[in-house]
Chain A
Amino acid sequence: MIARAREPLIFEHSRPGRAARAQWPAASAEDERSAEHIPPALLRRRPAALPELSELDVVRHYTRLSQLNFSIDTHFYPLGSCTMKYNPKACNAAALLPEFLARHPLSPPELSQGFLACVYELQEMLKAITGMRGVALSPLAGAHGEFAGVAMIRAYHRSRGDPTRNEILVPQAAHGTNPATATMCGCVAREIPVDADGDVDLSALRAALGPRTAGIMLTNPSTLGVFERRIEEVARLVHAAGGLLYYDGANLNAILGKVRPGDMGFDVMHVNLHKTFSTPHGGGGPGAGPVGVAQRLLPFLPLPIVGRDGGPASAEGGGESESDDRGESDDRGEGQSVRYRWLDERDLPQSIGRLAGFGGNAGVLLRAYVYLRLLGREGLQRVAEFATLNANYLSARLQQVGYDAAYPRRRASHEFILTLRRQAQELGVTAMDVAKRLLDLGFHAPTTYFPLLISECLLIEPTETESKETLDAFVTAMTRILQEAREDPERLQRAPYTLPVRRLDDVHAARELDLAYRERRPQESSDAAAS
């Protein structure tokens, strides 16, 4: 269980004159003499209101704060659409090797071949997994990758003298990032309904397609937790209308090694490396959102990309990984003839351009690379198999104990939706109440109220790394909650009880904005303290 004691703000621990001096740099006699003069008008007059603390104060404070969190390392975290699976520690250990950490992003290529080899091979592996022809790794998160993808769709139409195509179709149940991305790219988002079984409504799609259609953004399996069965028909219709297909990789975990977006007819996609390929979510990041494209979008990929000079002519990246399997050295079997380098504007003059200050979230890329090497091809397929087995098992068990699935006639993918519509009407208990009560019982809540299409919904994604015992314990907790809903609904409505805080007042937070600590300490008012 997590700690329950409230921890004061770091500023409340502060004492004038206290400091972690060992962490300060030591000045040399030469330093005192050598700094150049700065015009006084450019100087800070008052020090920033940062706390004054010992190292122990800081360590204890943030350790205590950490104990107020649920996390994968401590709790089952079935947050739908977020793929909260266990992230192997070796991925972190490898990404945090001192040479990778110390490497400057603009280091010359002759001092970067080890790093670039990993990144290049990751590009090749992602091509194989997605069925795409080219991959760029620089987008820094899923939504950033979406931006790159839609910007490429725009650039493609423009390059063909067809700049008026600015409509992006999104299914009603799409992630909010899809329509938001369309807007950011200067497009207009149009929503397409889904039918009663969760597939895209083809007649509505036909009606929406036209000379303004730039493309469609789909997640498959969809955000409704089911596979879009008529995906080939969707692709045929969109392509016939002159549009392109964008694959939102949020749910890639469900189909790893089973079916590839490229084979389904998608032209461009992003991969949420942090979800499917194992970077801890860090309380909301970092992520990485590499983009993959089919042949016709290759010229538009964002910069930079890692290229290889020399080595096998095939760009499909087959044999190389094999030769590495021995793993005992950096010998890639090609000797000095292979050279990796960053490709830039000169290599890709039609690129949509740069999206990040440097080459991408390298630490996340390295973790994904290590994860893929640990899994290998068989391990990769098992991810999808056991993610799907766990989701279907949990869905079946929860229906047995009295919950309603939103799509009972469908096979679940890696996640599924329960709807508490009935409980809300009959007992006055909402999805939020169930979610909060689950916290009391030691489980992180599933995603609530998404997709917006399904009322009172819980989107549940157990992932492949959870054992049957964990799933069964979750079912036991959900069974108890249903019983409480019938016997004592008010108990649910006021949950949680056992956490560091009770249910928080969101209306108060938004009306009485308190976004930064304002207490002014005495020494701040005096300029003398600055010296």
Chain B
Amino acid sequence: MPFIPHTADDVRDMLATLGAPDIEALFEEIPPHLRVQELDAIGRGLSEFEVMQLMRARARADGTPLCFLGAGAYEHHIPAAVWSTITRGEFYSAYTPYQAEASQGTLQTIYEFQSMMASLTGMEVSNASLYDGASALAEACLMAVRANRRARGTHIRIARSVHPHYRQVALTTAAGQGLTFEELPFDRASGRTLLPDGAGGTRDAGSAHGAGDISAVVIQQPNFFGVLEDVDAVTDWAHASGALLVAVVNPISLGVLKPPGEWGAAGADIVVGEGQPLGCPLSSGGPYFGFMTTRLQHVRQMPGRIVGRTVDLEGRPGFTLTLQAREQHIRRARATSNICTNQGLLMMAGTVYLALMGAQGLERVAQISRARTAQLVRALTAIPGVRRAFSAPLFHEAALMLDRPVAAVLRALAARGIVGGLDLSTLYPQLGAALLICATETKTSQDIRRYAAALDEVLRAPPAAGDAP
């Protein structure tokens, strides 16, 4: 029997201990008419070999196309030591470290992760991870409303250049608690977020909300278009408006870019982001991990597990889950969040990745990714009908304008084994035929030439009828 060790003798002895005639008798408390009659939708069990054959065929069907798509999930090289270490059974098959004395390995790793993330983001404290970057932003919005006692309302100003999925998740998650969101537009020429007229805290013409009503301002660096925002100005404007500044950042970029803790005069208040670029494969969308760091003064408003260093009976150092009175298993209806399971294993991948790369390695990954994106932009914009959408400096993504609808171009590229980027025209209709592309250190100059040649070929064909942008 698959994964069940009982012999016929075992079953007989165990039933005898129970005084039950058969296993069926153990289900006697379930009303008989509710019992499942058939499960035809589930096939017969397969052998491990049969399953692996099936899965290999399914995996092969999708192939390994050349990928120039980022948009929140990035292909970076993952050192072999990352997954060989964290998939050791002692890490892989352990649970949330409730019994601290039997979980020091996991707990110490979390403490090291918290230390690394706090330093990387320039903040004081980190939690042990959240589900993903998008849900981390949703939690940050709820947290900001709890933490900002100066604000009268539950209103969030969020840049339109924040990842559209993140904005949607924040809305889905926070709407139930009455949070309202209003978007800050971006400048069509530079791609940077526009602050309201009279930035500095007075009521701006376009908004129903003035200074003092806003709990938080959300800005992403680099933003969804890969553009570098003027984060100092946004941070100072948020603080002048009595709002907390929530930063959404790509952790790889922090090898080069100023950490949110140093933005503006006072620094960001809550920092969140997608941890996937740190040692986690693209993996069709997950599992990834969200991270969150903040200032010590807000730590009790932070959701998720937190590990602290303490001492044992003999005064020796050790690690344990702490500040648990914030959490659902103790505070129930008044908890900071309902979060329970986090993304422990992926957080571990991020920790081992950062330990291997160090600050210098991380800086290199960031710099080379930036350079490759610049090369890609140069190669693609040399093709007639392709130009940059925005003028501001970039990190490792760029929005390009095409002379025809993007969807058909992407289909033609897919047929050539290239994932050519993301069609922005459904997410940002006002941009027109815009394409979001990305290159990391994993894209060689040969890969870039291959993409440019394919795009050139696709765009040489005349646009199909009615295909004008």
Contacts and interface: CB of A to CB of B under 8 A. Distances in A.
Tell me, yes or no, whether A and B come into direct contact in the complex with CB atoms closer than 8 A.
yes
A70 B94 contact: yes
A87 interface: yes
A389 B26 contact: yes
B59 A180 contact: no
B116 interface: yes
A70 B102 contact: yes
Interface in A291-345: 302, 316-318, 321-322, 324-330
Contacts, number: 710
B92 A280 contact: yes
16 contacts: A48-B259, A53-B358, A58-B356, A70-B90, A103-B282, A143-B340, A284-B128, A285-B343, A286-B286, A356-B286, A357-B132, A359-B285, A373-B51, A377-B42, A388-B26, A503-B312
Interface residues of B, number: 204
Contacts of A356: 131-132, 134-135, 169, 285-286
B430 interface: no
A482 interface: no
A284 B281 contact: no
A79 B95 CA distance: 9
Interface stretch (B65-73, B181-189, B197-205): B65-73
A500 B102 CA distance: 8
A180 B118 CA distance: 27
Interface residues of A, number: 214
A82 B94 CA distance: 11
B81 to A, nearest CB: 5
A330 B58 CA distance: 6
Given A84-B95, A359-B286, 10 more contacts: A19-B361, A41-B258, A49-B359, A62-B109, A90-B48, A114-B60, A353-B168, A370-B55, A500-B104, A504-B318
Q: Which residue of A55, A88, A284, A447 has the most chain B CB atoms within 10 A of its CB atom? A: A284
A36 interface: yes
B332 A189 contact: yes
Interface stretch (B210-218, B371-379, B460-468): B371-379
A237 interface: no
A258 B316 contact: no
Contacts of A7: 108
Interface in B293-340: 296, 299, 305-314, 316-320, 322-323, 327-335, 337-340
Interface stretch (A200-208, A417-425, A484-492, A514-522): A514-522
B34 A263 contact: yes
A65 B129 CA distance: 19
B342 interface: yes
A52 interface: yes
A115 B56 CA distance: 11
Given A142-B341, A370-B55, A503 B135 contact: no
B106 A34 contact: no
Given A176-B329, A358-B285, A69 B55 contact: no
A104 B73 contact: yes
Q: Which 3 A-B pairs have the closest CB atoms?
A: A376-B45, A282-B345, A73-B89
A127 B87 CA distance: 31
Contacts of B2: 88, 374-375, 379, 382
Interface string A88-125: 10101110011111111111101111110110000011
A403 interface: no
Q: Which residue of A66, A255, A508 has the most chain B CB atoms within 10 A of its CB atom? A: A66
Q: Which residue of B320, B322, B378 has the most chain A CB atoms within 10 A of its CB atom? A: B322
Contacts of B228: 38-39, 42
Contacts of B69: 104, 106-107
Contacts of B77: 23, 25
A68 interface: yes
Contact of A259 (B34, B59, B125, B133): B34
A354 B165 contact: yes
Contact of A92 (B87, B340, B346): B87
B94 A104 contact: no
Interface string B91-116: 11111111111111110110110111
A41 B232 contact: yes
Contacts of A90: 48, 51-52
B370 interface: yes
Given A114-B60, A284-B344, A357-B165, A389 B23 contact: yes
A515 B302 CA distance: 13
Contacts of A31: 367-368, 371-372, 375
Contacts of A353: 168-169, 171-172
Nearest to A70: B102
